[in-house]
Amino acid sequence: MITNREAGTRIDEIVDGIYRISTPVSKLPGGFSFNQYLILDDEPLLFHTGPRRLFPLVREAIASVMPVDRLRHISFSHYEADECGALNEFLAAAPSATPLCGRVAALVSVTDIADRAPRSMDNGETLSLGSHTVQWHDTPHLPHAWECGFLYEMRTRTLLCSDLFSQGGAEHPPLTEADILGPSEAFRAQMDYYSHTRNGRAMIERLAALQPKTLACMHGSAWRGDGASLLRALGERLERTAAI
């Protein structure tokens, strides 16, 4: 469903109760897209706020499925503008919401920059939202940033995988079963956004062991299929190109 005709922002339910909000940005070379994910539940959770300048568009998309002031958790993988640039705008729009992030992000950045104190999660810790349960997974420096981590929604087996599998281009179907590793590797060849950590393969294996069925990517389409196999294929490609 398109929620802003001028910008092309849309919101689509990709799996039971989990919505992908996406805004195409054709001004960037080759085009790009910024996605956020809304888990609609008793305690609604937003994963990625989008850059601060996209706040009106993301707010408008959320408002098409629920009142924005119902948001309870504003979560993100790591401290970057597309992850949490509009954090304080959302905290102002949703008085019961708090930031939700990993321990390192809380310690290093979020406690200082956020207008309300964050709730930090330990590796493996779970949080019930009602009918969905999210689990935090620390992935330091994978693909980048010391504080990096991902949320995994256990009931739908959805890995909110942030910048893993970033696909270039502005226009993408909300959910695909087609190959996204090829497009994300093509994008990585242009933009060296992985950190080259030595521990990447082991962290990817930990994520693969979750056997996700949906990968909720921040840039490009969300993907449905055998997530364990796709993650392991990514690990092999990273190792082969000495990126981890």
Q: How far is the CB of 117 from Fe ion (least distance, A)?
A: 23
Tell me how many residues contact Fe ion (CB under 5 A).
4
Q: How far is the CB of 130 from Fe ion (least distance, A)?
A: 27
Comparing C-alpha atoms, which of 60, 12, 78 is closest to residue 40? 12
Interacting span for Fe ion (CB under 5 A) from 12-20, 36-44, 72-80, 87-95: 72-80
Nearer to Fe ion, 17 or 200 (CB): 200
In whole angstroms, give the CA distance from residue 63 to residue 176. Answer: 25
Write the binding mask 149 to 168 for Fe ion: x where contact by CB under 5 A, - elsewhere: --------------x-----
User: Judged by CB under 5 A, does residue 146 bind Fe ion?
Assistant: no
What lies within 8 Å, CB to CB, of 132 at 6+ separation is 17, 18, 39, 41, 45, 153, 154, 155, 156
Q: How far is the CB of 97 from Fe ion (least distance, A)?
A: 21
Q: How far is the CB of 144 from Fe ion (least distance, A)?
A: 6
What residues between 162 and 201 interact with Fe ion by CB under 5 A? 163
Nearer to Fe ion, 43 or 80 (CB): 80
What residues between 77 and 96 interact with Fe ion by CB under 5 A? 80, 82
Evaluate whether 210 touches 157 at the Cβ level (below 8 Å): yes
Q: How far is the CB of 78 from Fe ion (least distance, A)?
A: 6
User: Judged by CB under 5 A, does residue 138 bind Fe ion?
Assistant: no
Q: What's the CA angle centered on 232, arms 231 and 236, to 5 degrees?
A: 120
User: Judged by CB under 5 A, does residue 147 bind Fe ion?
Assistant: no
What lies within 8 Å, CB to CB, of 144 at 6+ separation is 78, 163, 193, 194, 195
In whole angstroms, give the CA distance from residue 220 to residue 176. Answer: 10
Evaluate whether 109 touches 118 at the Cβ level (below 8 Å): no
Interacting span for Fe ion (CB under 5 A) from 15-23, 74-82, 113-121, 206-214: 74-82
In whole angstroms, give the CA distance from residue 120 to residue 149. Answer: 11
Nearer to Fe ion, 32 or 90 (CB): 32
Q: Considering only residues 71, 203, 218, 238, which one is a binding residue for Fe ion as defined by CB under 5 A?
A: 218
Nearer to Fe ion, 41 or 162 (CB): 162
In whole angstroms, give the CA distance from residue 183 to residue 189. Answer: 10
11 in helix, strand or coil? Answer: strand
Binding site for Fe ion (CB under 5 A): 80, 82, 163, 218
